[in-house]
Amino acid sequence: MTGSYGDRDSASWWQALERQQLQVQQCTCGALRWAPRALCNECGSFDWEWFTTDGAGTVVTWTATHRAFTPGTVVPFVVVLVRLDAGENLLIPGGWTGDEHGSDLTVGLQVVAEFTSPDLRDGNPSTLIRWTRRNQAN
Ligand SMILES: [Zn+2]
C-alpha cells in the first residue's frame, strides 16, 4: 500500500498505521494531541513531531450499527472510542474485535490497538485500528 490516504496533517499518521504504530503528535511544549492538526491547543506552536504510543487505553463509549447506509457495508459492526493511557485528551475511534453487537464492552475496559488491513474496493485507507481486550500480561 502507498499510504496515499489522508491530508497534509494526517497522511503520516495513516502511514504509521501501515507500520502497525499508533502515533499522536507531540508539541515542543510536551503536549500530546490527536487528531492530527497543525497547531498546538496548549501553546499555539506549529512545531511538533510524531510520538509512538503503546496503543493501550480504556473504553469511553461505543456504538453498534445495525443498518447499512451504503451498499456493501457488512452489519452489524461496532465502533469504539478509546482514551489512550498516554493522555486523557487522546480519544481515538476504531473497530472492535469482540462481539459484533458490542455486548462484551464496558466503560473503562482496558484495551489495546490491533491493526487490520481490510480489502477495501477503493484501496484506502489501507490499515485501520481495531481495539481488542487487553490481557493481564499486557
Ligand atoms: Zn504546545
Is residue 136 very low, low, confident or very high in pLDDT (cuts 50, 70, 90)? low
Q: What global pTM score does this model have?
A: 0.88
First vs last C-alpha separation in the chain: 29
User: What pLDDT was estimated at residue 4?
Assistant: 54
For the cut 80, the answer to whether the pLDDT of residue 1 exceeds it is no
Distance 34 CA to ligand 1 centre (A): 13
Distance 52 CA to ligand 1 centre (A): 17
CATH fit for domain 11-133, picks 3.40.50.300, 2.40.160.20, 2.40.50.840, 1.10.3210.10: 2.40.50.840
Asked if 17 and 28 count as a contact pair (C-beta separation under 8 A), the reply is no
Residues around the ion ligand 1 (C-beta < 5 A):
27, 29, 31, 40, 42-43, 45
pLDDT tens track for 59-77? 999 999 999 988 888 899 9
- For the chain, the domains span 11-133
Asked if 89 and 114 count as a contact pair (C-beta separation under 8 A), the reply is no
- DSSP secondary structure string for all residues of 59-73: EEEEEEE-S-SSTT-
